[in-house]
Amino acid sequence: MRVVSDASVLIHLARIGYFRLLKDLYGEVVIATGVYSEVVERGWGFPGSIETEEAKRKGWLIVSSVTDRSKVANLMHKYGISLGNAETIQLAVECEAELALADELEVRLLLEEYGVKVRGCIGILIESAKEGVISVEEAKNGIKRLVETGYRVSDNVLKRAYELLGEGR
């Protein structure tokens, strides 16, 4: 399965100690050069930077350039999104990704408009529990840590996540 990720997923999963779930679930993940720059080059020392660089070095996180830069510029201008987000959308389209990992609502909606299935950090934690990569309790604790570390999510999404994991908070 071809999986593309944006920066937010790399950063948030690293922040809560679950960056490894990306490899455990998907084997290989592709990120755009703008995402790599945001997380590693400009974000060195912050959550996700070391993990992203190490995953790249180990070969399971692939940094790829977007072919059509004009479409990236158009997405940035038209929707007011960052370079990394625009490149993630364009890369997902160009490489015919089956799944894109993104948290920001506008990015998720644009990816869905292009026909790309989207999953965010909470969805990754739920999928990890359902696949037996982590326990349900670990997934719940991961969601709790996301919120404690500043991850923005509505009460409705939280309620649904806990329901999917088999119970309330």
Segments making up each domain of the chain, as ranges: 3-121, 122-164
- Which pair of tokens denotes residue 66? 């977007």
- Give tens-digit pLDDT for 109-166: 999 999 999 999 999 999 999 999 999 999 999 999 999 999 999 999 999 999 999 8
64 close to 11: Cβ distance less than 8 angstroms: no
Alpha helices (H) along the chain: 7-15, 21-26, 33-36, 49-58, 69-79, 83-94, 105-113, 121-130, 136-148, 155-164
- Which pair of tokens denotes residue 148? 């404690």
Domain spanning 3-121: CATH 3.90.470.10: no
Model-level pTM?
Answer: 0.94
Angle, helices 7-15 vs 121-130, to 10°: value is 60
- Give tens-digit pLDDT for 89-115: 999 999 999 999 999 999 999 999 999
